[in-house]
Amino acid sequence: MKPGYVRRFSPVERLLHWVNAIGFFFLLGTGLILYLPRLSMLVSRRQLIQSLHFWAGVGWLGVLAAVVALGGRRLLATARELDAFDRDDLRWLRGGKAPQGRFNAGQKINAVLTAAFTILFGVSGLLLWFGEQNTRYRFASTVILHDGLMYVSLALLVGHLYLALIHPATRHALRGMTLGNVDAEWAARHHAKWKPE
């Protein structure tokens, strides 16, 4: 590691992030082709896109599950960090200045919602697929849930990309998710309660 840098994300954490990111973008792209009439017409091969979208979704969930299994206890420890909100986190969420751990409270919420949405995307997606073949699996609201998740996820994604790529104070964090390490002084300023190993 470069002197003056500390490790923020382990290889398995980064793997989980990028598997999730790549899967999400592929599903977003194929999903929008199915969803937006202009794109549907342009591409026109609905059956193919539908199969790609469905099997990519199944693959995405499968690979995510495999990475989680691979991560085992290390990822369980990460999950515990994301689970715990102390007073400083609550103060931070109310807009106050408060020292933060390796994850700030906003990152915790984003991670928790992303995990919950992944499950809901999976459930509603499977119901859409099987509902087309059997009325037993058809609910009038499945499509509303799947679409609603897409809109909320898109809003989270836009905020996430802004903070990770554009906002000057936070974009250094991208380095932590690509190379794994971040500047120790930056870490001390933004994640004061985190004690890097």
Partner 1 sequence: MDTPPVTDARQDPEDQPRRYGRRLFLATVAGGVSSLYWGKAAWDHVTGVISPVASAVAPILPTGGWRIYTISGHMPVFDPATWRLKIGGLVQQPVSLTYDELRSLPHVEQVSTFHCVTGWTVNNVHWGGVRMHDVLARAQPLASGHALRFVSMEVPYVDYLTLPQASLHDVMLAYEMDGKPLAREHGAPVRLIIPEMYGYKNVKWLQGIDVVPRAVNGYWEDLGYDRDAWVGRSNGYGA
Q: How far apart are CA 117 and CA 160, in angstroms?
A: 15
* Beta-carbon-side half-sphere exposure of residue 1 (alpha carbons within 13 Å): 18
Q: Does the protein bind partner 1 through residue 64 (CB under 8 A)?
A: no
Is residue 195 within 8 Å of residue 103, measured between CB atoms? Answer: no
Q: Which residues of 20-47 are buried (b: 16+ CB within 10 A; e: fewer)?
A: beebbebbbebbbbeeeeeeeeeeeeee
Among 52, 61, 63, 120, binds partner 1 (CB under 8 A): 120
Q: Print the binding letters for residues 29-58 with partner 1: x by CB under 8 A, - otherwise.
A: -----xxxxx-xx--xxxxx----------
End-to-end CA, the chain: 12
Give whichever of 76 and 165 is closer to partner 1, judged by the CB atom: 76
Q: How far is the CB of 88 from partner 1 (least distance, A)?
A: 7
Interacting residue with partner 1 among 112, 155, 158, 161 (CB under 8 A): 112
Q: Which is nearer to partner 1, 10 or 86 (CB)?
A: 86
Give yes or no for residue 139 binding partner 1 (CB under 8 A): yes
- Is residue 125 within 8 A of residue 54, CB to CB? The reply is yes
Q: Which residues bind partner 1 (CB under 8 A)?
A: 34-38, 40-41, 44-48, 79, 82-89, 99, 108-109, 112-113, 115-117, 119-120, 123-124, 127-128, 131-136, 138-145, 148-149, 184, 188, 192-193
